[in-house]
Amino acid sequence: MNWFKFSQFAPISIVSYNNYGELGIVFDGGKKYIYNNVNPYLYEKIRTALRHKNYKAIEYLLRKLSVKNELV
């Protein structure tokens, strides 16, 4: 596979988001994670970062969400 085709795959993608605030994320390795209690503002921030391919910002937001979910 050449570098151009390899660069077309995003390492993170959103697979689901519902009215209850559950956000489904799939990572490059195929692992799927569900984040609970994600408000629409954070969801839009993650979508915007995905559009701009700002994976560092997405990682930061998801880390904050995972810590928040562990504390509940």
Closest CA to 39 of 68, 19, 16: 19
pLDDT for residue 11: 83
pLDDT for residue 72: 44
pLDDT for residue 9: 62
CA-CA distance, 42 to 69, in Å (whole number)? 14
pLDDT for residue 29: 74
pLDDT for residue 65: 86
**38 and 65 Cβ atoms separated by less than 8 Å:** yes
Give me the amino acid identity at 52: H
CA-CA distance, 58 to 28, in Å (whole number)? 14
Q: 13: which strand partners?
A: 26
Helix (H, G, I), strand (E, B) or coil at 2: coil
Instruction: Walk along the chain (72 residues) and give the pLDDT tens digit of each residue.
Output: 455 555 556 788 899 999 888 999 998 878 888 998 899 999 999 999 999 989 899 989 999 888 766 654
